Amino acid sequence: MLLKRVREAGTSAGGDALVSGVRSAVSAAGRGIRVLEGFATQWDRVERVEAALLRKDGQTIFEAVLAVRPGREVRLATVMPFQPVVAFRGTGRLAVLPSDPRTGEVVVSFERGEDGGGVQMRFEGIVYGLARLLVLPIHDAWLREVRVLADLDKTGTGMIHAAVMLEATGDRRDPRRTIVYKEVRRRRVERRAMSVRYPVTSKVRTFSYVTPGKRYTYYSAERTPEP
């Protein structure tokens, strides 16, 4: 409801940056609520949940164990187009490590339980079926690690770099797989009498799927002409 009111509201003087920030925050909060709601509706499939906050070198590490009842699974809600299925099966542990002071990366580590459970990423549906047939040998896999780096410099250039380490279920010889996504946005500064705007002038996206023997890379670029 708040996001709808923000979209309908007129832009106030000097408020462009504020409106953009509110939009981003409310959209992210909406996705988070959708994920929590989806988890709550599947609570009967959960056997137990354990959580802990640990301190190491003055930093906080969040750890959680989720055990799903035998023969059941808990799926995360879909929050973006073409999102693969992310499902919890059996017992799995995850740890959220704080931002590394050297690289700035935030790391989420996944560990499979003794019962062989964990967190699966499955590429279901006709789109992924066609991609598997015509484009790249993508496999369903167990999640092992996610690394995310976001940065914004003084020139207005923003970058998001995400790497997902996977263990393919359909490859017994060498199951190592990595998905890498990178997006770079460049902005320009537009100063007006009562406001400052930062419109995006170019956007470059790179998606890579890496196997032990090959790397499949897809590249796209968008550019906005100068006024």
Nearest to 65 by CA among 140, 122, 115: 115
In whole angstroms, give the CA distance from residue 135 to residue 118.
28
* 0.75 surpassed by pTM: yes
**pLDDT attached to residue 166:** 95
User: What is the tens place of the pLDDT at every residue in 169-207?
Assistant: 877 789 999 999 999 988 877 777 777 777 778 889 999
- pLDDT higher for 78 or 109? 109
User: What is the tens place of the pLDDT at every residue in 4-48?
Assistant: 776 777 665 545 556 666 666 777 777 788 888 888 999 999 999
In whole angstroms, give the CA distance from residue 28 to residue 7.
15
**pLDDT attached to residue 131:** 86
Output phi, psi for 199, to 5 deg: -70, 150
Query: Are 72 and 164 found together in one domain?
Result: yes
In whole angstroms, give the CA distance from residue 223 to residue 227.
12
Query: Are 113 and 200 found together in one domain?
Result: yes
On average, the pLDDT of the chain sits at 85
Q: Is 86 helix (H, G, I), strand (E, B) or coil?
A: strand
Query: Are 23 and 62 found together in one domain?
Result: no
Could you give the number of structural domains in the chain? 2
Query: Are 50 and 37 found together in one domain?
Result: no
Which residues lie below 8 Å from residue 200, measured CB to CB, with a gap of 6+? 185, 186, 187, 224
Other C-beta atoms within 10 Å of 214: how many? 9
Structural domain containing residue 32? 1-41
Which structure tokens are listed for 187? 């902005």
Which residues lie below 8 Å from residue 190, measured CB to CB, with a gap of 6+? 196, 197, 198, 199
Query: Are 35 and 108 found together in one domain?
Result: no
Amino acid in position 98: P
Query: Are 17 and 128 found together in one domain?
Result: no
Which structure tokens are listed for 45? 């499939």
In whole angstroms, give the CA distance from residue 171 to residue 192.
57
